[in-house]
Amino acid sequence: MNLSAFGLTGVRRKALVVLGAGASRGASFVKYQVGAKPPLDRDFFQQLSWLSGCRAGADLIEFARQKYGDELELSMETFFSETEYTAKFLSDIRVDRGRPAQQYNKALDNFYAALAALLNHSASGQCQYHDKLALALRAGDSVLSFNYDCIMDNALRVGGGSRWDPSRGYGFEVLEGAEYWRPGAVRGRKTATPIQLLKMHGSVNWDIRNDGVHLERRDIAAKDLRGRVIAPTLNKVLAEKPFSDVWKCARRAVRGARAIVAIGYSVPQADFFARSLFKEETASRHEKEKIEILVLANPDGESRRRFYHLIRAGMKPAAPVIEFDSLNMLADTLLN
């Protein structure tokens, strides 16, 4: 990544960019949107309530109100985890006849369909801030995204040039569909170390089949995310492909990064795998391998502090910590 704007010149530093839900919420096109916006964990139901014409969303909201009350002041992860565990509890510990877990399983089905509809409506634009971020990335840099949307994919398609190869850049072999996400009119030879876009919890454009992953075209909107993403639950399963490959690549990317840029990432307390990833792969470094710069872009100061404390054992004592209140401010600085 081009870090000259922060006073780091000369020797190239391998960079890692971490994208949380706040990075999508802070996209340039969002301020012009009417109604639902890219959801954060804590306001998923609020954003869903502003989405019209989605039957699965309306049914999911009605179910949630029956179980939690009209205010719906609960996070997406809390709702999904409790619904999933309640369905398992009712199925395993039976005292009534019939199918007591049916309504909970139906709610989980509605969740996958409603989330797809919400993301298709709110998070499918081209973001000028993500575009600037893509331009600042260099071959060998990595992006760890905890978002399901394709805002960063689109940015790399526009600005990744020969540094981005979607057939190799996702952390696994893409069997089909990479051409739809490949930059057009690329000059020069492809790099041997393309930018990595590691989508830790899956993606709306992944079609995961028995033979592997096919990428869907940009103009095809997924109607259901089941089987494409890891749901926001405590019970995450990472051992199955392609997710195991993605997380292995992520371990190597975090381990090798000398500069970390975290954007809109809140460090969820219940996302134990992600916390383990950052803590384990940064804490045991030798002095010459420690992180030389940390850049944090998040309007929430407490989230910035949580990420700093998570990785500070792996930072050089004099490493600067540069903070921004928004993705917009960071993007403008990167290209100045």
Q: Are residues 132 and 281 in the same domain?
A: yes
Phi–psi pair at 109, nearest 5 degrees: -60, -45
What range defines the domain where residue 52 resides?
41-122
How many domains does the chain contain in total? 2
Distances in whole angstroms, Cα of residue 105 to Cα of each of 102, 110, 186: 5, 9, 47
Angle at 262 between CA 255 and CA 298, to 5 degrees: 160
Reported residue count of the chain is 336
* Average pLDDT of the residues in 296-306: 96
* Average pLDDT of the residues in 104-127: 96
- Domain holding 250: CATH number? 3.40.50
Distances in whole angstroms, Cα of residue 69 to Cα of each of 120, 162, 232, 240: 27, 52, 21, 36
b/e code 144-175 from CB counts within 10 Å (16+ = b): bbbbbbbbbbbbbbbbbbebbbbbbbbbbebe
| Reported pTM | 0.94
Q: Are residues 154 and 232 in the same domain?
A: yes
DSSP β-bridge partners for residue 202: 229
Q: Residue 296, SS3?
A: strand
Q: Are residues 105 and 210 in the same domain?
A: no
Query: In the predicted model, is pLDDT for residue 189 greater than 70?
Result: no
**pLDDT band, very low/low/confident/very high, at 187 (cuts 50, 70, 90):** low
List all residues 6 or more positions away from 157 whose beta carbon is below 8 Å from its beta carbon.
Answer: 164, 166, 181, 182, 183, 218
- The residue that leads in pLDDT, 220 or 168, is 168
Phi–psi pair at 182, nearest 5 degrees: -90, 140
Query: In the predicted model, is pLDDT for residue 191 greater than 90?
Result: no
Q: Are residues 175 and 66 in the same domain?
A: no
Q: Domain boundary residue among 64, 96, 122?
A: 122
Q: Decide if 217 contacts 238 (C-beta within 8 A).
A: no
Residue 332 CA from chain centroid, whole number: 22
Rg (CA), the chain: 20
**pLDDT band, very low/low/confident/very high, at 186 (cuts 50, 70, 90):** low
Residue at 85: amino acid letter: Y
**pLDDT band, very low/low/confident/very high, at 62 (cuts 50, 70, 90):** very high
Residue 282 CA from chain centroid, whole number: 20
* Average pLDDT of the residues in 291-299: 96
**pLDDT band, very low/low/confident/very high, at 301 (cuts 50, 70, 90):** very high
Q: What is the largest CA-CA distance in the chain?
A: 71
* Average pLDDT of the residues in 65-69: 93
Query: In the predicted model, is pLDDT for residue 188 greater than 70?
Result: no
Q: Are residues 70 and 136 in the same domain?
A: no
Q: Quick: pLDDT tens for 29-55.
A: 999 998 999 999 999 999 999 999 999
**pLDDT band, very low/low/confident/very high, at 287 (cuts 50, 70, 90):** confident
Nearest to 149 by CA among 67, 26, 256: 26
Q: Are residues 91 and 141 in the same domain?
A: no
pLDDT number for residue 164: 95
Residue at 318: amino acid letter: A
pLDDT number for residue 72: 86
Token couple for 130 = 């993500």
Q: Are residues 66 and 112 in the same domain?
A: yes
Q: Quick: pLDDT tens for 195-247.
A: 999 999 999 999 999 999 999 988 788 999 999 999 999 889 999 999 999 99
Distances in whole angstroms, Cα of residue 13 to Cα of each of 25, 28, 58, 162: 28, 28, 48, 19
**pLDDT band, very low/low/confident/very high, at 12 (cuts 50, 70, 90):** low
**DSSP assignment string, 234-279:** SS---SSTTHHHHHHHHHHHHHH-SEEEEES----TT-HHHHHHHH
Q: Domain boundary residue among 76, 104, 122?
A: 122
Q: Are residues 285 and 153 in the same domain?
A: yes
Q: Are residues 104 and 158 in the same domain?
A: no
Query: In the predicted model, is pLDDT for residue 130 greater than 80?
Result: yes
| Summary mean pLDDT of the chain | 92
